[in-house]
């Protein structure tokens, strides 16, 4: 009995020691958004909205360079933050963010779609690069945090922030030129979506390697084949 308890204690201790190290290996959304937007807020993404009070202006209209703060929901227990790179129209923006479709992955200038009933960006759907389509999940948000000087800053990979890979960098003109069409939401309502999103040649990790930009971070511990296998597995789960 004592031997069993000792084994369990060893497992628990090893978990306490190993888990934080594993969690720190992938680039997270917070440092990426902070660098790209210039918004100097630290801590988990779910705290950014409250922390911004009295430091940054906040609102519910998208602007270039603003940080879109996501509420915790479902598997997104710590929230999420993304940076607006271009406003296409009242319901569509392009965003830059990390650690969304694939752990640690960077996605630049991908579509986020307002699916809120009031048109206030309180709920969005986000582009999923591995499957080259809009994500099925509706994600609740707090709103936008506006930096004092809106500007998109370059992100230079830093091993100290965790390993990452540039999963997709879309051509903004493809979204700008795409005409809006109506698609059915899960609740039976219609929403706006770009008609060219599924048919145009878009970066897709599993099939369209030529359209991707890879591994501009520190040398990865895993091979490209391992990363592709992970993304394929993620796509099957969705």
Least confident of 43-47, 63-67, 131-135, 233-237: 233-237
Q: What is the mean pLDDT of residues 148-160?
A: 90
Fold of 26-237: endopeptidase fold (from Nostoc punctiforme) (3.90.1720)
Instruction: Quote the percentage of the chain above a pLDDT of 90.
Output: 50
Q: What is the pTM of this model?
A: 0.67
- pLDDT at position 13 is 37
Q: What is the mean pLDDT of residues 6-17?
A: 37
- pLDDT at position 153 is 96
Task: Indicate the domain borders of the chain.
Answer: 26-237
More confident residue, 196 or 117: 117
Q: Quick one: pLDDT band at residue 138, thresholds 50, 70, 90? A: very high
CB contact at 8 A, 203 and 169: yes
Q: What is the pLDDT of residues 60-118, one digit of tens each?
A: 999 999 999 999 998 889 999 999 999 999 999 999 999 999 999 999 999 999 999 99
Least confident of 31-35, 183-187, 189-193, 207-211: 207-211
Q: Quick one: pLDDT band at residue 19, thresholds 50, 70, 90? A: very low
Q: What is the pLDDT of residues 36-64, one digit of tens each?
A: 999 999 999 999 999 999 999 999 999 99
């Amino acid at each position: 009995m004592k031997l069993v308890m000792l084994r369990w204690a060893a497992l628990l201790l090893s978990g306490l020691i190993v888990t934080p190290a594993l969690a720190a290996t992938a680039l997270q959304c917070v440092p990426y958004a902070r660098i790209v937007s210039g918004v100097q807020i630290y801590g988990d993404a779910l705290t950014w909205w409250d922390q911004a009070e009295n430091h940054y202006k906040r609102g519910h209209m998208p602007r270039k360079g603003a940080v879109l703060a996501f509420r915790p929901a479902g598997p997104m227990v710590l929230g999420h933050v993304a940076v607006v790179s271009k406003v296409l129209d009242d319901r569509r923006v392009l965003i830059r963010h990390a650690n969304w479709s694939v752990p640690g992955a960077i996605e630049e200038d991908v579509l986020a779609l307002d699916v809120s009933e009031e048109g206030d960006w309180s709920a969005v759907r986000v582009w999923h690069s591995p499957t080259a389509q809009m994500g099925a999940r509706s994600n609740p948000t707090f709103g936008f945090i506006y930096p004092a000087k809106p500007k998109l800053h370059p992100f230079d990979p830093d091993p100290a922030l965790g390993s990452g890979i540039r999963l997709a960098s879309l051509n903004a003109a493809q979204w700008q030129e795409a005409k809006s069409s109506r698609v059915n939401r899960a609740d039976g309502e219609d929403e706006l979506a770009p008609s060219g999103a599924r048919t145009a040649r878009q970066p897709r990790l599993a099939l369209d390697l030529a359209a991707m930009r890879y591994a501009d971070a520190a040398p990865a511990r895993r091979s490209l084949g391992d990363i592709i296998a992970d993304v394929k597995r993620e796509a099957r789960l969705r």
